């Protein structure tokens, strides 16, 4: 859509990760929206899944979900790219927040950290907050890649504010000046016995001097955050920072404190920019960002050995400021002008939108190229699908930014009349080839291989494709990577109302984005992957004689066999598209049903036939396969069609008794609902790991565990 001036009008999704919470991220979003409007664009507040929120950060009623943004701006690093359109994310968190748990300060579990890395990799651009340390680290995680054919650029986005309506310099006298401080002492909320309150004793000492006034959240979870501080003045309105600017200007001096993590990474909070905008004298600890950009106009203090020593150092600086008040006011003016010239929010948003417009043009050009130069046949095996499920599938195809060249619709002879009548009613304008067949899917593909277009895709019931699903897969396709895979997000309905939306981002992806590695290929973990998320160059099937000999005997697993045989021939694994452009929706509670469990539970016969044949073909030539045959047989006998993880790695009942936490040597499943290491230990899982290469012993121990579990009803 174009504005009256002829420039494209961007529709921007602004992601708030904490629906219902009024925090600094929402505060920044509320500052961005009027700036977008002034630039002729539209801003919509959403959660990571595209659910619209109101100005209070609450989900609107009735709920509206969108997948139609030109640009999605993520204000938290734990969001992967989950929506169509350009996706930018911020990089303003300290390095230790990325690598460690911010509360416990302990390193993240491997799979959770991999999720963080994948989230950074998934976005089209990462916006810098001025920290070389953090920017270089994230660039390393992204392997220096610039996806989507976009030219590299250095875009900045700080935790800053817009230029105030009135740009005044404080005019309070040094006799009446007070030092303004606003913040939240979050450490007081810690329940840890070893908790360390960052400023314990500091505020009390400063308060006793009579030079300070304190503002901030009064209490949280019933805990008073300012108990004992006589000059605590209360909370300020949540108005985009206007009140903070006004009150700090009236005080004349502002104290800005950085956490140790922020200082180590050279990052600052919004408080710095609010103080600059207000034209107040700034007193701060030595943060590398301030030393780089404001060293000539900010007053720095040193931390002492104790909070009381630090307080004495701060008070000495306060005395210095008041003793030479005219110079201090002149320094405040320099700070303000530098903020206006380099860091005002409207300047950064304008630059981001300008880049987004350029990126949008590049994307549209790529879409046009794909539609003419790359053709896709989507195979839909409708022989076990209802007409409602088929209609849902066609909705996904019709909304694609890059439409399939054709739909190859396979149906049974008894469906001929109903499918034909259904197709006649469709109005999406999708080219469809009706094919009647009673063959296995693999045999059908082999028989009609020379009739397909240059690329093949497959559809699985209830898969919900984002608008850019095919487009994102094509972006990853190359001569060296003929098979592309995108992760599936399991959209649990109950998780959509979660307060911590990053929680369902992690859970919906089972802790991380699935990579198809050698281990999982040899384990024949076909239900670990959604067939609807593969893009396969037809030529890699045509040119593989070994694959052509056996593919006709596989049904559900033929797509996996294509990937497996291609890897055996070329040593090239399927390439992962980091954009999460496919969802699988369920109303079930997390832990009860996943995409993997559903697919296996619905087709256990086909699953086991395919795996039996896989084992028979490869067990003699592949020791990895032969080692697992006993475990697979046991699993098949017990009908444990869960994650398609062999029983040497997972026993659901035992995992449930351990609080839902499972950890195995393959890193296949790590849940994050418990931080207690002792609950993650399973003697049985450990024994199975030791016996993984001894099938007979493994069989015996598994049977013993089955009897014990049955007796104890666990």
Contacts of 507 (CB under 8 A, 6+ apart): 490, 492, 495, 590, 671
- pLDDT reported for residue 593: 57
- Per DSSP, the three-state class of 553 is helix
- Residue 581: HSE in the Cβ half-sphere, 13 Å Cα cutoff: 33
Is residue 562 pLDDT above 60, yes or no?
Answer: yes
Q: Exposed e or buried b for every residue in 642-651, given b needs 16+ CB within 10 A?
A: bbbbbbbbbb
Q: How far apart are CA 179 and CA 209, in angstroms?
A: 11
Which of 3, 31, 22 shows the shortest CA–CA distance to 14? 31
DSSP assignments along 301-353, one per residue: E---SSHHHHHHHHHHHHHHHHHTHHHHHHHHHHHHHHHHHHT-HHHHHHHHH
- pLDDT reported for residue 171: 87
Nearest 5°: phi and psi at 61?
-125, 130
Token pair listed for 296: 């000539």
Is residue 302 pLDDT above 50, yes or no?
Answer: yes
Integer angstrom CA distances of residue 447 from 382, 444, 519, 609: 18, 5, 31, 21
- pLDDT reported for residue 105: 82
Q: How far apart are CA 440 and CA 606, in angstroms?
A: 10
- Per DSSP, the three-state class of 229 is coil
Q: How far apart are CA 201 and CA 205, in angstroms?
A: 6
Residue 643 or residue 638, greater confidence:
638
- Reported as a single tens digit per residue, the pLDDT across 505-526 is 777 787 778 888 888 888 887 7
Q: Cβ–Cβ contacts within 10 Å for residue 213, how many?
A: 19
For the ranges 50-64, 379-393, 395-409, the lowest mean pLDDT is seen at: 50-64
Token pair listed for 484: 């592309």
Which of 336, 401, 397 shows the shortest CA–CA distance to 366? 401
- Reported as a single tens digit per residue, the pLDDT across 524-552 is 877 778 899 999 999 999 999 999 999 99
Residue 694 or residue 632, greater confidence:
632
Token pair listed for 514: 């699935």
For the ranges 7-21, 94-108, 425-439, 583-597, the lowest mean pLDDT is seen at: 583-597
Kindly report whether the peptide bond that precedes residue 62 is cis, defined as omega within 30 degrees of 0.
Answer: yes
Token pair listed for 687: 């024994």
Mean pLDDT of 72-91: 93
pLDDT confidence tier of residue 112, bands split at 50, 70 and 90: confident
- pLDDT reported for residue 430: 94
> 213: which strand partners?
180
In angstroms, the first-to-last Cα distance of the chain is 59
Token pair listed for 559: 């797509």
**Inter-axis angle of helices 132-141 and 110-122, nearest 10:** 100
- Reported as a single tens digit per residue, the pLDDT across 268-291 is 999 999 999 999 999 999 999 999
- pLDDT reported for residue 184: 73
Integer angstrom CA distances of residue 470 from 123, 368, 514, 520: 16, 13, 18, 24
Q: How far apart are CA 357 and CA 6, in angstroms?
A: 13
Rounded percentage of the chain residues whose pLDDT exceeds 70: 82
The answer to whether 263 and 196 have CB atoms below 8 angstroms apart is no
For the ranges 380-384, 428-432, 450-454, 625-629, the lowest mean pLDDT is seen at: 625-629
Is residue 158 pLDDT above 50, yes or no?
Answer: yes
> 43: which strand partners?
12
Q: Cβ–Cβ contacts within 10 Å for residue 227, how many?
A: 10
Residue 514 or residue 307, greater confidence:
307
Mean pLDDT of 93-108: 88
Token pair listed for 71: 């640009």
The answer to whether 99 and 107 have CB atoms below 8 angstroms apart is yes
Token pair listed for 357: 């417009």
Is residue 642 pLDDT above 50, yes or no?
Answer: no
User: Would the CA dihedral through 668, 674, 676, 680 be positive or negative?
Assistant: negative
Strands 42-46 and 71-74: unpaired
The answer to whether 255 and 215 have CB atoms below 8 angstroms apart is no
Is residue 53 pLDDT above 80, yes or no?
Answer: yes
Mean pLDDT of 417-425: 93
- Per DSSP, the three-state class of 94 is coil
Residue 493 or residue 87, greater confidence:
87
For the ranges 72-76, 336-340, 352-356, 660-664, the lowest mean pLDDT is seen at: 660-664
Continuous H helices in 343-399: 345-373, 387-398
Out of 134-148, 178-192, 383-397, 580-594, give the one with best mean pLDDT. Answer: 383-397
Is residue 656 pLDDT above 50, yes or no?
Answer: no
- Per DSSP, the three-state class of 187 is helix
Is residue 62 pLDDT above 50, yes or no?
Answer: yes
- Per DSSP, the three-state class of 126 is strand
- pLDDT reported for residue 372: 87
- pLDDT reported for residue 670: 32
In the sheet that holds 575-576, the strands lie side by side as 432-436, 406-411, 376-381, 455-458, 534-537, 483-485, 575-576
**Inter-axis angle of helices 307-323 and 202-209, nearest 10:** 40
Residue ranges per domain, the chain?
A: 11-149, 178-342, 374-597
pLDDT confidence tier of residue 24, bands split at 50, 70 and 90: confident
**Taking CA 665 as the corner, what is the angle to CA 631 and CA 634, rounded to the nearest 5 degrees?**
10
pLDDT confidence tier of residue 698, bands split at 50, 70 and 90: low
Q: Exposed e or buried b for every residue in 164-194, given b needs 16+ CB within 10 A?
A: beeeebbebebeebbbbbbbebeebeeeeee
Which of 102, 245, 264 shows the shortest CA–CA distance to 169? 245
- pLDDT reported for residue 163: 94
- Reported as a single tens digit per residue, the pLDDT across 573-613 is 999 998 999 988 777 665 555 666 566 666 678 888 898 99
- pLDDT reported for residue 657: 39
Q: How far apart are CA 709 and CA 714, in angstroms?
A: 5
Q: Cβ–Cβ contacts within 10 Å for residue 707, how many?
A: 10
Q: How far apart are CA 55 and CA 16, in angstroms?
A: 11
Q: How far apart are CA 514 and CA 534, in angstroms?
A: 13
- pLDDT reported for residue 229: 92
**Taking CA 286 as the corner, what is the angle to CA 285 and CA 292, rounded to the nearest 5 degrees?**
135
**Taking CA 474 as the corner, what is the angle to CA 576 and CA 431, rounded to the nearest 5 degrees?**
130
> 534: which strand partners?
485
- pLDDT reported for residue 600: 60
Contacts of 291 (CB under 8 A, 6+ apart): 300
- pLDDT reported for residue 501: 67
Residue indicated by tokens 């300008």: 354
Count of H-run helices and E-run strands, the chain:
27, 23
Token pair listed for 65: 């979900």
The answer to whether 400 and 480 have CB atoms below 8 angstroms apart is no
The answer to whether 418 and 411 have CB atoms below 8 angstroms apart is no
- Reported as a single tens digit per residue, the pLDDT across 160-199 is 999 998 888 888 999 999 999 998 765 555 544 454 444 5
Q: CATH number of the domain at 374-597, out of 3.40.190.10, 3.90.550.10, 1.20.1530.20, 3.40.50.9100?
A: 3.90.550.10
Is residue 5 pLDDT above 60, yes or no?
Answer: no
- pLDDT reported for residue 421: 94
CATH H superfamily, domain 178-342: Glycogen Phosphorylase B; (3.40.50.2000)
- pLDDT reported for residue 191: 47
- Residue 89: HSE in the Cβ half-sphere, 13 Å Cα cutoff: 26
Which of 466, 433, 441, 460 shows the shortest CA–CA distance to 534? 460
- pLDDT reported for residue 10: 97
């Amino acid at each position: 859509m174009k504005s009256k001036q002829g420039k494209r009008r961007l529709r921007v999704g602004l992601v708030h990760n904490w629906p219902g919470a009024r925090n600094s991220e929402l505060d920044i979003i509320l500052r961005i929206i009027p700036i977008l409007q002034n630039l002729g664009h539209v801003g919509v507040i959403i959660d990571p899944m595209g659910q619209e929120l109101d100005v209070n950060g609450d989900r609107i009623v009735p709920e509206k979900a969108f997948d139609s943004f030109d640009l999605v701006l993520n204000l938290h690093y734990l969001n992967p790219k989950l929506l169509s359109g350009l996706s930018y994310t911020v990089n303003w968190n300290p390095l230790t927040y990325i690598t460690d748990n911010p509360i416990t300060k302990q390193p993240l579990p491997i799979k959770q950290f991999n999720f963080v890395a994948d989230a950074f990799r998934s976005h089209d651009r990462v916006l810098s907050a001025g920290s070389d340390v953090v920017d270089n680290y994230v660039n390393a995680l992204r392997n220096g890649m610039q996806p989507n054919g976009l030219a590299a650029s250095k875009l900045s986005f700080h935790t800053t504010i817009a230029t105030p309506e009135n740009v005044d310099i404080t005019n309070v006298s040094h006799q009446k000046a007070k030092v303004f401080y606003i913040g939240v002492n979050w450490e007081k909320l810690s329940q840890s016995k070893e908790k360390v309150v960052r400023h314990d004793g500091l505020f009390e000492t400063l308060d006793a001097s009579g030079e300070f006034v304190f503002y901030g959240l009064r209490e949280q979870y019933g805990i008073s955050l300012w108990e004992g501080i006589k000059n605590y003045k209360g909370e300020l309105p949540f108005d985009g920072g206007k009140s903070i600017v006004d009150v700090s200007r009236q005080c004349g001096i502002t104290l800005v404190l950085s956490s140790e993590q922020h200082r180590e990474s050279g990052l600052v909070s919004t408080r710095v920019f609010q103080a600059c905008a207000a034209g107040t004298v700034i007193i701060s600890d030595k943060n590398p960002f301030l030393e780089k950009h404001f060293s000539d106009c900010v007053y720095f203090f040193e931390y002492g050995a104790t909070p009381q020593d630090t307080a004495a150092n701060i008070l000495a600086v306060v005395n210095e400021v008041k003793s030479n008040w005219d110079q201090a006011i002149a320094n405040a003016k320099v700070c303000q002008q530098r903020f206006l010239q380099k860091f005002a929010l409207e300047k950064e948003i304008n630059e981001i939108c300008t880049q987004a417009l350029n990126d949008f043009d590049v994307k549209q050009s790529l879409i046009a190229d794909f539609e003419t130069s790359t053709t896709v046949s989507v195979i839909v095996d409708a022989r076990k699908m209802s007409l409602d499920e088929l209609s849902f599938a066609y909705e996904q195809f019709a909304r694609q930014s890059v439409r399939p060249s054709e739909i190859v619709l396979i149906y049974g002879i008894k469906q001929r009349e109903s499918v034909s009548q259904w197709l006649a009613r469709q109005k999406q304008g999708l080219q469809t080839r009706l094919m009647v067949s009673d063959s296995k899917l693999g045999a059908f593909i082999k028989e009609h291989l020379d009739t397909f277009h240059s690329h093949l895709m497959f559809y699985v019931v209830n898969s919900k494709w984002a608008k850019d699903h095919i487009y994102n897969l094509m972006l990853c396709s190359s001569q060296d990577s003929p098979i592309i895979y995108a992760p599936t997000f399991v959209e649990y309905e109950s998780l959509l109302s979660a307060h911590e939306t990053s929680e369902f981002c992690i859970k919906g992806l089972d802790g991380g984005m699935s990579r198809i590695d050698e281990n999982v290929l040899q384990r024949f973990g076909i239900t670990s992957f959604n067939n609807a998320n593969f893009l396969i160059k037809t030529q890699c099937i045509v040119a593989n004689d070994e694959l052509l000999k056996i593919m006709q005997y596989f049904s559900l697993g033929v797509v996996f066999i294509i990937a497996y045989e291609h890897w055996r021939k070329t040593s090239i694994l399927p390439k992962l598209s980091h954009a999460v452009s496919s969802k699988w929706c369920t109303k079930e509670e997390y832990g009860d049903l996943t995409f993997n469990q559903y697919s296996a539970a619905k087709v256990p016969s086909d699953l086991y036939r395919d795996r039996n044949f896989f084992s028979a073909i490869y067990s003699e030539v592949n020791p990895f396969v032969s080692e697992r045959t006993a475990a697979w047989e046991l699993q098949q006998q017990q009908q444990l069609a869960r994650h398609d993880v062999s029983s040497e790695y997972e026993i659901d009942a035992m995992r449930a008794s351990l609080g839902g936490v499972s950890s195995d040597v393959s890193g296949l499943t790590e849940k994050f609902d418990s931080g207690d290491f002792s609950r993650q230990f399973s003697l049985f899982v450990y024994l199975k790991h030791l016996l993984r290469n001894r099938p007979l012993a493994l069989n015996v121990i598994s049977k013993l565990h089955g009897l014990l579990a049955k007796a104890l009803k666990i």
